[in-house]
A and B are shown apart, each in its own frame.
Chain A
């Protein structure tokens, strides 16, 4: 179980970690901890799975990658068959079943926009279903700010 100090660490470290020579020392001071204690706590949070990552969060768009949220309306009787066809594509990073007429929502991650279109065309041909693409037009926020 995570304790009150872990929660304070999670809350504080979501906001941004300094780029200075001894950043753990700087961040730990604000929490009343030593740099060693902070590093130990972060290590334990990662090991226990309470945190999935610590470090820079890259926006792969900026490096030239392409991402696209896509959705399909899959007939109930074909759902598992279609899920298998969709998931077989390595470009499918996430896939969720959601309660809606559009009941399958997946994210494609490729290196170029052309590959997004190509994978969608392939999925559409394999499943004989329409794939609706929902590319982002504007990003307002991406991140995770939870009061732990």
Chain B
């Protein structure tokens, strides 16, 4: 089912994309900006969460600040018939931050399961990669681990909040 997001939803997104206000009643503060009631904001944000538009409300720790300086993109060639089940199980591992099925690009790229792992040391990343290997045991034909050697560019993911309502003005806020 496709949800339709109207200009009020988009106003709520714009009011929260920089973060949830750090005040006793943050949804009331968002409601003031969006021009609706606190109850309306809570109900709409609940609906956004149910629909997956909001993945969750929470804190995003900076993994470098927490000492998790090493990361690797682990990639796996998994049986197509098993990938949905195994992908979910790999994604459920606590140290996996992103887990997707993506297309193979043969002959250079036989891998269809991508899982990002982070660790404090290269050894910790290796240990976590081995834990994934064990989980995939018997259903994985090949694997590789791509460590990042340099960050070439990193900006926030930005997308204009295209409104079904009033046209966006200059310097419009963006949805992360």
Contact = CB atoms under 8 A, between A and B. Distances in A.
Contacts of B28: 21
B176 A58 contact: yes
Contacts of A96: 148, 150-152
Contacts, number: 245
A48 B59 CA distance: 14
B55 A100 contact: no
Interface in A113-137: 132, 134-137
Nearest to A62: B53
Interface string A38-52: 010011011011111
B45 A19 contact: yes
B58 A57 contact: yes
Contacts of B156: 93
Contact of B38 (A21, A46, A140, A141): A21
State the main secondary structure of chain B at its contact with A: mixed
Contact of B149 (A94, A99, A134): A99
Nearest to B18: A55
A139 B150 CA distance: 26
Contacts of A13: 58-59
Interface in B15-42: 16-20, 22-28, 38, 42
Contacts of B8: none
A116 B23 CA distance: 39
B141 interface: no
A50 B56 contact: no
A109 B73 contact: no
Contacts of B98: 141-142
A63 interface: yes
Given A58-B175, A59-B52, A69-B102, A141 B20 contact: no
State the main secondary structure of chain A at its contact with B: mixed
Nearest to A68: B102
A60 B102 contact: no
B121 interface: no
Given A15-B58, A58-B13, A138 B152 contact: no
A49 B65 contact: yes
Interface string B84-95: 100110111011
Interface of B: 3, 5, 13, 16-20, 22-28, 38, 42, 45-46, 48-49, 51-63, 65-66, 68, 73, 83-84, 87-88, 90-92, 94-103, 105, 108-109, 112, 114, 118, 144, 146-162, 175-176
Interface of A: 2, 9-10, 13-17, 19-25, 35, 39, 42-43, 45-46, 48-60, 62-65, 67, 69, 71, 73, 83, 86-87, 92-102, 104-107, 109, 111, 132, 134-148
13 contacts: A35-B24, A39-B22, A55-B18, A56-B45, A57-B55, A57-B60, A58-B17, A63-B5, A97-B148, A132-B109, A134-B114, A145-B97, A147-B94
